[in-house]
Amino acid sequence: MNPKHSRFRRSGATNLGLRPQEAGATSTRNEKCVTDAYTQAGVSIEAGNEAVARYRRVLPKHTDPRVLEGIGGFAGCFALSGFRDPVLVASTDGVGTKLLVAAELHRFDTIGRDLVNHCVNDILCLNAVPLFFLDYLAVGKLDPAMAAAVVAGVGAACAEHEMTLLGGETAEMPGLYQVGHFDLAGTIVGAVERGELIDITRVAAGDVIVGLPANGFHTNGYSLVRKVLPPSRWREPFDGATVADALLAVHPSFLSAIRSAQRAGVTIKAMAHITGGGLIDNLPRALPPGLAAHVHPERWKVPAIMQVVVSEAALDRDGAFRVFNMGIGFCAIVAAAQASTALAAMPGSAVIGEIEPKSPHGDPVVIS
């Protein structure tokens, strides 16, 4: 038996391959033997079934008519409709070592939102609309209450984006993960009309970069963060709350802000989600060859908790901008003439730089 508990089906005991007529009155005893042996190996079938039951209670009910119910128990079915010439856009990601902060603090209600919002932002860079989501939760020992809290966060974030949580998997794998530790990953699928796909070749010198603010580390850099700010400091008061609150601030979704700008008539030429590698590694993904992004850090504020970590880690400017988002969570490149409209439509945003020709041996991102 596989120690997995799918959202599509309930895990159960097996009768060791006996045919029904052979099992007879011994089936119950055989199932109990299997269950006991599996429990002794570190996997609880009962905990898995309880977790699945909790998922059903905490997750929003499907309301999207494109979700086909009752087709089969091993996968989710989604009928793509509402597009003329759709292009599917997919992405997979995880939450990283931010999970260790949640595990240490026993706070599991935010990381599911982190996961979904991160993935939404990734496909937003292609201008895609979220359609459905699949999550994967792997644990050393399954705690149904913890698993339900994590999955409830996933479901809530999906609902906020009018996206279906089509299915997922919970895997209990003793020996691979320590008790109390786990991993969380997700896959998102969205769609966009072919003619509305982002085409970075439209970016030109003279365009401006509009930055949307980050509220903290989002889901990147936590290996260094935990080294600089160990668990002994997480309950210290900080900025009106605690260090723990700052570390677990939910990675925001930028979908509504971008759609607001587009509804206001702004043509967004390219977008960049500022994740691992910061502005230095992510902005070039939104630029065609021959162009560079020139950004000006004095135009925005770095979150206070990030300033603390940068200072205590003694990072120089280049190091800080490569490890952390440094206060910018998402970038949109627009024509200079539309900058004021974009700023009005996206409160908190700022013009953080401009696009310029790249020198032959220069860097694609210039910070000054």
Per-residue pLDDT tens over the stretch 109-118: 999 999 999 9
Tens-digit pLDDT profile for residues 232-246: 999 999 999 999 999
Q: 3-state DSSP call for residue 325? A: coil
User: Using N-to-C axis directions, what is the helix angle for 144-160 and 45-58, rounded to 10°?
Assistant: 30
pLDDT at residue number 48:
73
Q: What average pLDDT does range 32-43 have in this prediction? A: 62
Residues forming a β-bridge with 280: none
Confidence label for 3 from pLDDT (cuts 50, 70 and 90): low
Q: Would you tell me which CATH number, out of the four given (1.10.230.10, 3.40.50.300, 3.40.190.170, 3.30.1330.10), belongs to the domain 45-196? A: 3.30.1330.10
Which of 15-24, 63-72, 117-126, 161-170 has the least mean pLDDT? 15-24
For residue 5, pLDDT over 70 is answered with no
User: What is the DSSP-derived secondary structure letter of residue 174?
Assistant: B
Residue 9 has pLDDT above 50, yes or no: no
Which of the residue ranges 39-43, 200-204, 219-223, 276-280 would you say has the lowest mean pLDDT? 39-43
Strand ranges across the sheet with 86-94: 4-6, 164-172, 129-139, 182-193, 86-94
- Please report, rounded to a whole number, the percentage of residues in the chain having pLDDT higher than 70: 88
Compute the CA torsion angle 355, 358, 359, 360 (nearest 10 deg): 180
b/e map of 1-34 (b: 16 or more CB within 10 Å)? eebbbbbeeebebebeeeeeeebeeebeebbeeb
The pLDDT of 114-136, averaged and rounded, is 98
For residue 62, what pLDDT band results from cuts at 50, 70 and 90?
Answer: low
Using H for helix, E for strand and C for coil, what is the string for 120-146?
Answer: HHHHHCCCCEEEEEEEEEEECCCCHHH
Residue type for 100, please?
L
pLDDT of residue 30: 53
Identify the residue with better confidence: 35 or 360.
360
Side chain identity, residue 40: Q
Strands (E), the chain: 4-6, 86-94, 129-139, 164-172, 182-193, 208-213, 237-238, 241-242, 270-273, 291-295, 328-334, 350-357, 365-367
Neighbours of 124 (CB within 10 A): 27
- Give pLDDT, residue 69: 77
Q: Where in the chain is the domain with CATH 3.30.1330.10?
A: 45-196
Instruction: Classify burial at 283, counting beta carbons within 10 Å of its beta carbon; exposed 0-12, middle 13-18, buried 19 or more.
Output: buried
- Which pLDDT value is given to residue 24? 42
Query: pLDDT exceeding 90 applies to what percent of the chain?
Result: 78
**CA triple 351-354-360, angle to 5 deg:** 160
The CATH code of domain 200-367 reads 3.90.650.10
> What is the structure's pLDDT at 279?
98
pLDDT digits (tens, 9 = 90+) for 345-363: 999 999 999 999 999 999 9
What's the rounded mean pLDDT across residues 280-295?
A: 98
The closest alpha carbon to 322, from 250, 220, 230, 227, belongs to 220
Using the structure block, give the residue that is written with the tokens 């990030």: 306
So what's the pLDDT on residue 52?
74
Separation of alpha carbons 224 and 334, rounded Å? 34
Residue span(s) of the chain under CATH 3.90.650.10 come to: 200-367
Query: What does pTM read for this prediction?
Result: 0.89
Instruction: Report the pLDDT value the prediction gives residue 287, as an integer from 0 to 100.
Output: 98
pLDDT band at 102 (very low <50, low <70, confident <90, very high): very high
Rg of the chain (C-alpha set)? 23
List of residues 6+ apart from 146 with CB closer than 8 A: 106, 108, 139, 182
